[in-house]
Chains A and B, each alone.
Chain A
Amino acid sequence: MKDVSKVIKKLVLFLAIGSSLQGFAVSEGQKEGTVSSKEDVDAYILHHIKDAHDFHLFSYTNSEGERKHVGFPLPVILWSSNGLVTFMSSEFHHDDNGEVVVEKNGSKFVKLHSKIYELEEGATSLSLDEDHHAANAHKVLDFSITKSVFGILLVGLFMLWAFSSLAKQYKSKSVPTGFGRVLEPLVIYVRDEIARPNIGEKKYRKFTGYLLTVFFFIWILNLLGLTPFGFNVTGQLAVTAALAIFTLFIYTFSGNKDYWMHMLWMPGVPVLIRPVLAIIELAGAFIIKPFSLLVRLFANISAGHIVVMSLIAIMFTLKETLTVGGATALSFVLSFFITLIEVLVAFLQAYIFTMLSALFIGMAVAEHEHEHEHDAEGHVVPDAEDVRGDFI
């Protein structure tokens, strides 16, 4: 236990200091095209929480006054009107304003605010309307290995490596050693605190694999988002939507007769009310539940990123009033503590998503009309474990 808490402390410190370093990386070289005003900060933050087509670590201005970017490009894979197109994101030359036109397979592509557009037939450059939307281009289906996909792959490989090596350890010994000793209690935690109580002793095993995968996937990606690499995977609507829809599919397809009965034709209420209840229940099951899942995770993680980055930005926005040293110190202290909170939020959101998924699955597979147990005098013994309703 002592070792584990030591490791956790070190991890928290590393993450907190890491995110503060992120601040220094941003503040380096405030010259042409860099972040220095309030508007720049807003734009930078909004840019950061979006997905990116290249892996950008930091930028600096060299002695010739040239702007240099450090990072590596990622492959772009598009489904355009002329079929599948692939090229490296470096062909956009770090342009995000639709100025660089890339021509492939007879289609012209521009990148505007982290989205790739295909120019209409005959257009040679992107023109914007009054709302800064593309006027002569349309979006394409973008299957690129973006920064988020890169992060997902990274975390997926890490999980496979870490947990399959834990699984291998059990072949030779019954108690794992090393890193496995940290992972095992987490697995047991998800099984015993999330899956078992919410789904029920009889059926939890079938769903534990999904819940474990989702829990570690979200948690590790949340934590990765706190590092200076600046991943914001769980703050992408598409990612959280996919997760929520997985849960929706699982509880919809594993729902038993009781579940559908209670949803479509609620027993025990007047017949006239039943259709009304059915509409509410259907909306709850197919819209509200998944929507609450996807928005909760997306909003919490995005908000966390925005708050941390805004606090880091105090460094330049309050430079005039507090002097450079004061602004930096204030920014460092505030972002340090908010990052500590974000470490907690990272776990909490993973826990809540998994817990609610387990709860929804549990409600779909729960047996309502089963025989109640009777005690010696023939009285009905109430079911020991039916507190699920208290959580909603």
Chain B
Amino acid sequence: METLLNDFSPGLFIVQVILLLALIFLMVKFAWKPILNSLNEREAGIQDALAAAEKAKADMQNLQADNDRMLKEARAEREAMLKEAREIKDKMIADSKEQAKAEGDKMIKQAQATIESEKKAAVADIKSQVAELSVSIAEKVLKEELSAKDKQLQLVEKMLGDIKLN
């Protein structure tokens, strides 16, 4: 202990106190303050940059989601339009088919009616012609019969037989 106290140099102590004070003052002024300020600034900058990056990422995600949603909507809309168009087309085809069929039926019916009436007219015509022919034939027969009685009968007989055949 005595050696320790003997070794303690008050002069060195005073010099050290003065030098340390000066050193602390100078270091704080010229080194620590600017260094710590810059470090803090840099750290704050990094923090800000990270936050900004995070925000940009979130924005990006929102944008992506929006895009996806819009794309989906557009796709659905297209799908709906296509479906509608197809329905309209089908309906139009069906309608026209029906109309055509009705028209056709109508025409066929008209044609049939015409044919029927033509046929009736033709039959009537034939009938009248047959009657005329029968009358003329009868006229001729009568004329012949007036000439020869046997022959008249014979003809009537034959004619009757022909009519039967008819």
Contact = CB atoms under 8 A, between A and B. Distances in A.
A236 B30 contact: no
Contacts of B30: 160, 163-164, 167
B82 interface: no
B24 interface: yes
B23 A241 contact: no
B32 A237 contact: no
A191 interface: yes
A208 interface: yes
Interface stretch (B14-22, B95-103, B132-140): B14-22
A149 B15 contact: yes
Given A243-B20, A246-B20, A237 B38 contact: no
B29 to A, nearest CB: 9
Contacts of B13: 238-239, 241-242
Contacts of A243: 20
A51 B14 CA distance: 15
A157 B20 CA distance: 12
Interface string B1-45: 000101111111111110110111011101111111011001001
A142 B20 contact: no
Interface string A25-59: 00000000000000000000000001100000000
A187 B12 contact: no
Query: Main SS of chain B's interface residues?
Result: helix
A152 B19 contact: yes
Contacts of B20: 213, 217, 242-243, 246
A156 B31 CA distance: 12
Interface string A140-173: 0111101011001100100110011011101000
A236 B32 contact: no
Contact of A163 (B4, B11, B27): B27
A187 B35 contact: yes
B26 A160 contact: yes
Interface of B: 4, 6-17, 19-20, 22-24, 26-28, 30-36, 38-39, 42, 45
